[in-house]
Amino acid sequence: MDGWDVPGYTALRELGAGAFGRVVLAVRDADGRRFAVKCPAGGGPRAGFAEEARLLGAVRSRHVVRFVEYVDRGVDGGAAIVMEAVSGRTLKEVLAAQGALRPEAALSVFRGILRALSDAHRAGVAHRDCKPGNVLVDERGAVTLVDFGVAGRIGADAASIGTPAYMPPEQWQGLPASPAGDLYAATAVFFECLTGHRPYRGDYLPNLAAQHMHAPVPDAEAPEPLRHLVRRGLAKRPEERPADAASFRADAEAAARRAYGRFWERKGRAALADAPACGRPLPRPLPDGPWALAA
Ligand SMILES: Nc1ncnc2c1ncn2[C@@H]1O[C@H](COP(=O)(O)OP(=O)(O)OP(=O)(O)O)[C@@H](O)[C@H]1O
């Protein structure tokens, strides 16, 4: 693979690329196991990449991609974050292929994201870039949160960066990273799953910022039994949002049971697994031990 050089790993194929990095499926030469390896865009070292590794490494969760190691090749040599390779595709791809999800599927995604955030927050980390492109959905409908590229320690000063369509009012203002900000972004993603579009539209940043800060929450577009979740999650003031990800999850589960019955999650995951564009499973792991790359 062009220009790709991470000692101890051999590249197989690209899994995805974003503004900051390129993620490649690679084999660890020592034992033949496959991992996702993220290198900064352009191949060189990038300020903050080591911090991304540190923050990701601090989080232990079944719903957050597992950190394996940070490879640093010195000032001129570039860096890489080695992670568990997650199968499936991004929620962004799912939404592009199918538009709005049925409410049970949207709730199942929301629940998974809130579990991930709750574990991250417990580790003192705010994600700050929760969006469909950073949520992977596997062939069983399970979700995994990736990309801690703009994450920060809770309470630490933070730059006003993120993804505008999902950014809470306080992130537009460059206020410190907080769990409440992540709950806002997670609710914006939930809203998009329910309706097929983002809560506030437009590409002109000042206008989008104004909507996030002042426009009424478009909760009426969500199914009636779930509107209170949208209203609270997208509240303009952080203190008006749910107290934490765990209690928000409990509220969402209670609303789901009331509106869609005891088996709501089973139905939601089945719907996700059946969604078009679904199922880009990684090749099955080979038995332990080194293995030759297929031609
Ligand atoms: N552990 C992983 N397993 C499988 N695919 C992954 C993994 N991590 C990332 N990806 C894929 O790579 C893409 C880019 O990764 P990531 O979001 O970390 O890069 P980025 O440059 O920080 O992106 P962004 O521009 O969104 O900030 C993801 O959208 C996803 O499709």
Q: For the residues 234-262, what does the mean pLDDT come to? A: 97
CA 82 to ligand 1 center in whole angstroms = 12
What digits encode the pLDDT tens for the residues 17-43? 887 788 999 999 999 999 999 998 765
Domains of the chain, start order: 9-83 (3.30.200.20), 89-273 (1.10.510.10)
What digits encode the pLDDT tens for the residues 153-194? 998 877 778 899 999 999 888 888 899 999 999 999 999 999
Active site residues: 129
Q: Percentage of the chain surpassing pLDDT 90? A: 72
User: For every residue of the chain, which 3-state class applies, written as one string?
Assistant: CCCCCCCCEEEEEEEEECCCEEEEEEEECCCCCEEEEEEECCCCCCCCHHHHHHHHHHCCCCCECCEEEEEECCCCCCEEEEEECCCCEEHHHHHHHHCCCCHHHHHHHHHHHHHHHHHHHHCCEECCCCCHHHEEECCCCCEEECCCCCCEECCCCCCCCCCHHHCCHHHHCCCCCCHHHHHHHHHHHHHHHHHCCCCCCCCCHHHHHHHHHHCCCCHHHCCHHHHHHHHHHCCCCHHHCCCCHHHHHHHHHHHHHHHHCCCHHHHHHHHHHHCCCCCCCCCCCCCCCCCCCCC
With 60 as the cut, is the pLDDT of residue 286 above it? no
**Ligand 1 in reach of 230 Cβ (< 6 A):** no
- pTM for this prediction: 0.91
**Ligand 1 in reach of 107 Cβ (< 6 A):** no
CA 162 to ligand 1 center in whole angstroms = 14
* Residue among 59, 81, 84, 136 whose CB has most ligand 1 atoms within 8 A, to mutate: 136
Question: What residue's CA is closest to ligand 1, atom 16?
Answer: 147
What digits encode the pLDDT tens for the residues 184-225? 999 999 999 999 999 999 888 999 999 999 999 999 999 999
